[in-house]
Structure 1
């Protein structure tokens, strides 16, 4: 007797992959322009600084729109995948095995979701940090409107600027680790997420969550 064919679904729908590309490009541009605004590393006078700030604000707006769209897509539509981002008790129980696997002292555990617990935690923290960067960036440019943030959560704008700068470095660290682990695990996932794979390659077995 032959077994019934396994139902498959697209692991990363095209809309999610496009949003991923836009978010990644926006963060990279914000990091580069943000470092220049913090401490100019190329001469060019006031014109270059003005242009850099304009580019920074443009990609900040793009990031805000894209992140809002991705968060909405997590909960709305046939491709909603919020369960793959928010860890549950069973996910946390699996966390030690995942850490052992990444430390090369254990086997890769079987996963029932799109992401493993460590990925879930890191992606949730990434969204939180993005929201923080958006608010702190707006607070630096509109201090009167965001006085509750500059002088409520922090002592002054100098502290906000330093926090904004530190979180930028956290993004750099996250991107380095993210790229390394992606290459280490499955190089094909780079093709998948960067719109280089076919629809058939971008499928996984459907798992009920």
Structure 2
């Protein structure tokens, strides 16, 4: 990796952190300049617009998500263990990787009713994530851990619902039971899905 590429990745990592805390609409070139110690003009040369900064930040978030959630999940044994790893890896992403939590959850709230390139990119990311969850759950079916008639779309919807509920309960409500409640709900989902 070139020095320029490494610098840009470091800038985008900082941008992902800011977006996690204040949202993508709150992410500005000026704020990023202050946070990184770079000049606004230097950052403008990298991104050219706030929207370009937001889109590249979202893409960098996707790369980090792949490293922290997708790859560990795919390294786990097929079946229910892979489903558990997916969930635990997502919890790590939500709780430890970023100070403000999942940028995709934050972005989904910001852009759900705002047409444009950011919404389109978020929709693609969320559809890919849902497809990944369904595929992982499908391996649990094919391994005989989940029942053969499991509705993978319903399983995916429910698991994502648990993730969003955790984010809401832990981040907004600061409920000290959020993690325990979410883990209990996961166990109920896995039990209901078991072969």
Q: Would you say same fold, with TM above 0.5?
A: no
TM-score norm. by structure 1 comes to: 0.31
> More relative contact order in 1 or in 2 (CA 8 Å, sep 6+)?
1
The structure with the largest alpha-carbon Rg is: 1
